Amino acid sequence: MIFEKMKEIREYFDKTQLELATFLKVSRSTYAGWENGIDLIPLIKLNEFCNYFDISLDYICGLSKTKNYKLLNLEINKNLLAKNIKFIRIKNNDTQENIAKIIGVDQSNYSKYELGKILIKTYPLVEFARHYKISIDWLCGKIKDSNI
């Protein structure tokens, strides 16, 4: 689980929850909620956490044992992410309705993810990447290679 990796990584680097909360511009209680699995960390904040420790989204999401990649970008390219999830779904001859069920969202929201109207949430993105065996870092435009 992401929250377990967050705690493991934070403790490995001997950082406090308050230090990470300050860096991420959230309260310590908000950060603690993410790290304890009470609340779901937004994708943008998870990316900032990964950038802070120079680790991959794929690693923290349990999709890869590779901690670091040679990154093209530190930021998530929202438009590219939308384009890539649509590309992968179509490439696999899947429907929006089917993939929405697989990742646990309604089809209307999934459609908005593909159109770039809203940013896909962290856990649906992890399920999408697991289903298609594809890199989250690639989907977000952070690396060139799509394989995990």
Residues 83 and 109 in one domain: yes
Q: Is 52 inside any structural domain? A: yes
pLDDT at 146 (0 to 100): 67
Are 24 and 48 in contact, with CB atoms under 8 Å apart? yes
Rounded to whole angstroms, the Cα distance separating 2 from 141 reads: 20
Residue identified by tokens 């399920």 is 127
pLDDT (tens digit per residue) in 91-141: 999 999 999 999 999 999 999 999 999 999 999 999 999 999 999 999 999
- The total number of structural domains in the chain stands at 2
d(CA 56, CA 70): 10
Q: Are 52 and 99 found together in one domain?
A: no
pLDDT given at position 67 = 75
Residue with structure tokens 């992401």?
Answer: 2
pTM over the 0.85 mark:
yes
pLDDT tens-place string over residues 13-22 = 999 999 999 9
Both tokens of 31, joined, read 């950060």
- Residue 148 above 60 pLDDT? no
Residue 147 has pLDDT above 70, yes or no: no
Cβ neighbours around 95 below 10 Å, total = 12
Phi, psi of 26 (to 5 degrees): -135, 170
Shared domain for 53 and 98, answered yes or no, is: no
Q: Determine the structural domain holding residue 35 and report its residue range.
A: 2-60
Are residues 45 and 84 both part of a single domain? no
Q: Where does a domain end: 33, 60, 87?
A: 60
Q: What type of residue is 134?
A: I
In a shared domain, residues 92 and 56: no
pLDDT in the model for residue 71:
65
| pLDDT tens digits, 2-12 | 999 999 999 99
Final residue belonging to a domain, choices 31, 60, 89: 60
Inside any domain, residue 72: no
Contact assessment for residue 137 and residue 57, using Cβ atoms and an 8 Å cutoff: yes
CATH number at residue 86: 1.10.260.40
Do 85 and 130 belong together in one domain? yes
**In the chain, what percentage of residues exceed pLDDT 70?**
95
The reply to whether 22 and 55 lie within a common domain is yes
Decide if 148 is inside a domain. no
Average pLDDT, the chain: 93
